[in-house]
Structure 1
Amino acid sequence: MKEIKHILVGFFSLLLISAILIPSALKFSHFFIAHSHVECNEHVKTHFHQSDFECKLFKFHHTHQINFTPEEITFTILTLPSEQNFNHYFHLSEYQTLHFSLRGPPTA
């Protein structure tokens, strides 16, 4: 059972890798084929070209064009209100007498 599972995993992984790499291999082999594509330099008058269907490169679309136009970002400067959290004991120093009596043993 484990051997069949390993064979199936190997087969499907080989199938996936070949499906991913076949377009790149065809594009790479296209450079070594002795045919050439004719570029049109006639831009003045309207005309039609004979299509070239025997080229394997035209069967795959290799580059995906993503037109990303970011929205215009406007920055606004926010002014935070300055709140002073006043602590009532902040202004007291160690040497000031407090408004409550100190705790300790009663004096006689």
Structure 2
Amino acid sequence: MKSAFRQRVEDLKSRLPKEHQEIGHYLEHVLDSLDSLEEEHLRLVAAYAYQGYKVSGDNEQVFNETILTVKQQLFATFEKTVDDILHKGDKRWDRNFKDGTD
């Protein structure tokens, strides 16, 4: 089952012209990397707990919130980028990125 982020990325990527879909691929790779970081962190925390170390719930909450915030920011930037690409040539569009998307 795909996560909500993955589904949203696929939906937006499908709206892009073929020549710009690599941006969506890049974001998928970044999300894969963050997922790997989360899995590695979980293994590390489990190993610590197994060895008898007390794991701070506050630290775990901060870690999880930080990963979620990073994913949300990446997706928000991707959304803005897709909007700018789809409105390329529209003189009435107020671009999100003044330096362009090409």
TM range (shorter): under 0.3
Q: Which has the larger radius of gyration?
A: 1
Q: TM-score, normalised by structure 1?
A: 0.25
| Structure number having the greater helix percentage | 2
Q: TM-score, normalised by structure 2?
A: 0.26
